Amino acid sequence: MTSKVYFTDRQTRTDYNMIDKLEHVFNELGLNKAIKQGDKIMVKTHFGQWGNTNYLRPAYARKIVDLVRAAGGIPFVAETTGLGYGDGGAYGGRTTVPEYLGMAALHGYTEATVGAPLLMADGYWGTDVFKVPVDGEFIDSVDVAMALLDCDHVIVLTHAKGHGLGGIGGTLKNLGIGLVGKRGKAAMHFVGDVKINADKCLGPACSKCLKVCPTRCITMHDKAVIDQSKCIACHHCVSVCERIGVKAVTHTWRPNHTQGPIFVENAVGVINSIGADKFYYINLAIDISDKCDCWNLGAPLLVHDIGIFGSRDPVAIDEATLQAIKDAPPNPDSVVGDIECGVCKFATAHACKDPESGDILDLADIQLSHAEKMKLGTRKYELVTITKEPPKKRGTSED
C-alpha cells in the first residue's frame, strides 16, 4: 500500500508564489471541503528559538489561517512549551507561556500577524495535559497537550529540517515533541531521575529551583531535596540551576538513537488522542539545515530550497521529504558539501555513532522505520506533483 504525497516545487512566479502554492496544497489535501462552519482548527507550528534564523516565516501560518477562515473554520495557531528556562538569554526562553509568546513576537508571530489567537496548547508550564496510553517499545503512555481535545481538525504545519536526535525534524517530530507536554519532551531527551548534587547546591540562600517546580516537590533543608514520587521530570530545576552557573541538578541524556523512536511513540499517542482522520500534514522543505529550530543559531543550509509537501500520512510525508533532500545536490559551503547525491545528508552532518560498533547511524531511517513499525503510516508513497495552474482568485480557498 502507498500513500499520496502532494508536492509543489520551489519555483515561483509573480502571480504564483510560495504562499499561493501553499493554498494549492491545502486544497489538494481536501481541507477546503473538510472544514465545516464553526469547526475549531489548530494550526500547529514552531515559533523558533531566539537566535535561530531558519524557522518558518509567520506568513505561511497566516495563509493557512486565512484559508481556514474562508472555509468557515475558527483557527488558532498553536505551539507547546519547550525545555530550558531562559535559553534565549536576555530574551527569555520557551519554557513558560510568557517566555515563549515573547519569543514568538520577536519572530513575528502575534495574533495581529497570523490573524488568529496564539495558544500554548499545553498550558503555562507544559503541564496542562491528558494521558493517552501507548503500546510502545519505550513508553506505555504520553502526556498530550490538552488543547488538542477540542479540535475538529489539526493542520500540522512543519518546517522540514534536520534534528540531531531524530535525523529529520519533520511532521513526526512536530507531532511527537511538538504536541506533548513537558514530561513527554523530557522522557524523549533524558532517562532516569533528576537529582540534586548536595555537594554543589547553594542551599537556602539560592532556592531558585523551588519557585519553578510545578509540582512543588522540591523542599529546602540545608540543601534542596527532590521528592521523586512527585517529580514529573519537567527539567525546570535543571535549566534554572544551569542558568545561574551552578549545575547542581543532574540528569542523564538518552542514547541518541533511541530518541527518534520515542518521539514516534509520543506521536502515536497524539494521533490516537483524537483520531488520525483529524490530522493533515504540510512540510515546507525550505531553509534546510541539519539542526532543529530549537537551536539558537541559523546553521548553514545543506541544500537549496525544495518546495512544499502535503499528505494525510505522517510517515509518507517525512519519507518523501527526506528522499528529496537526499537527492538534492549538497551546498558546497555546508558540512555535507562533498557528499554524493542520494546519501543522507542528515546522517553525515549529525555523525551520530552506534555506541557498540562506532558506525555512523542513520537516525532518520531509524525514526521512520520505527514509525512504520508502530503503524503510524507507510514509507511507500506516490508523489503527486502539482502541475495545475494556480487557483484563479488569490486569497480564497477556491480551486
Comparing CA positions, the residue from 301, 299, 302 lying closest to residue 330 is 302
CB of 193 to ligand SF4, least distance (A): 9
Residues near 151 by beta carbon (within 8 Å), at least 6 away in sequence: 40, 41, 42, 274, 278
19 scored as a contact of ligand SF4 (CB under 6 A)? no
- Which of 29, 237, 288, 368 contacts ligand SF4 by CB under 6 A? 237
Q: Which of 232, 262, 301, 308 binds ligand SF4 (CB under 6 A)?
A: 232
How far apart are the C-alpha atoms of 341 and 326, rounded to whole Å? 6
The three three-digit cell numbers of residue 300, written as one number:
548553514
Q: Does 286 bind ligand SF4 (CB under 6 A)?
A: no
Are 36 and 4 contacting, i.e. CB atoms less than 8 angstroms apart? Answer: no
Burial class (CB in 10 A: 0-12, 13-18, 19+), 281: buried
Q: What is residue 371's three-state secondary structure?
A: helix
- Strand pairing partners for 220? 224
Contact segment (CB under 6 A) with ligand SF4 among 101-109, 229-237, 284-292, 385-393 equals: 229-237
# of chain residues touching ligand SF4 (CB under 6 A): 28
Question: Are the C-beta atoms of residues 103 and 93 closer than 8 Å to each other?
Answer: yes
Binding positions for ligand SF4, 197-216, rule CB under 6 A: 201-202, 206-209, 212-215
Contact 293, 48 (CB under 8 A): yes
Least distance between ligand SF4 and beta carbon 71 (Å)? 41
Find the binder of ligand SF4 among 236, 257, 345, 379 (CB under 6 A).
Answer: 236
214 vs 298, beta carbon nearer ligand SF4 = 214
Residue 250 binding ligand SF4, by CB under 6 A: no
Please check whether residue 135 is in contact with residue 227, taking contact to mean a CB–CB distance below 8 angstroms: no
Smallest gap, in angstroms, from Cβ of residue 26 to ligand SF4?
A: 39
Determine if 83 is a binding residue for ligand SF4 (CB under 6 A). Answer: no
Span near ligand SF4 by CB under 6 A; candidates 6-14, 59-67, 227-235, 377-385: 227-235
Does 231 engage in binding with ligand SF4 (CB under 6 A)?
yes
The reply to whether 188 sits near ligand SF4 by the rule CB under 6 A is no
- Quickly list DSSP for 184-209: HHHHHHEEEEEEE-TTT--GGGT-HH
Residue 206 CB, shortest distance to ligand SF4, in Å, is: 3
Binding ligand SF4 (rule: CB under 6 A), the pick from 196, 294, 328, 336 is 196
Q: Give the nearer residue to ligand SF4 in terms of CB position, either 102 or 214.
A: 214
Q: From 6-14, 16-24, 66-74, 244-252, give the range in contact with ligand SF4 by CB under 6 A.
A: 244-252
Cell of 239: 535549566
Candidate residues 218, 284, 299, 374; the one interacting with ligand SF4 per rule CB under 6 A = 218
Q: Which of 254, 366, 381 is nearest to 312 (CA)?
A: 381
Q: Does 248 bind ligand SF4 (CB under 6 A)?
A: yes
Kindly indicate which of the ranges 59-67, 193-201, 313-321, 373-381 contains the residues binding ligand SF4, using the contact rule CB under 6 A. Answer: 193-201
* 187 is a contact residue toward ligand SF4 (CB under 6 A): no
CA atoms of 331 and 156, how far apart (whole Å): 28
CA torsion through residues 112, 79, 84, 295, sign = negative
State residue 360 phi and psi, 5-degree precision: -70, 130
Would you count residue 233 as binding ligand SF4 (CB under 6 A)? yes
Q: Quick one: 356 exposed, middle or buried, by C-beta within 10 A (0-12, 13-18, 19+)? A: exposed
Tell me the C-alpha distance between 160 and 338, whole Å: 22
Tell me whether residue 68 or residue 241 sits nearer to ligand SF4 (CB atom): 241
Q: Phi then psi for 73, rounded to 5 degrees?
A: -80, 165
Stretch that binds ligand SF4, among 47-55, 151-159, 236-244, 277-285 (CB under 6 A): 236-244
Q: Would you tell me which residues interact with ligand SF4 (CB under 6 A)?
A: 194, 196, 201-202, 206-209, 212-215, 217-218, 224, 226, 231-237, 240-241, 246, 248-249
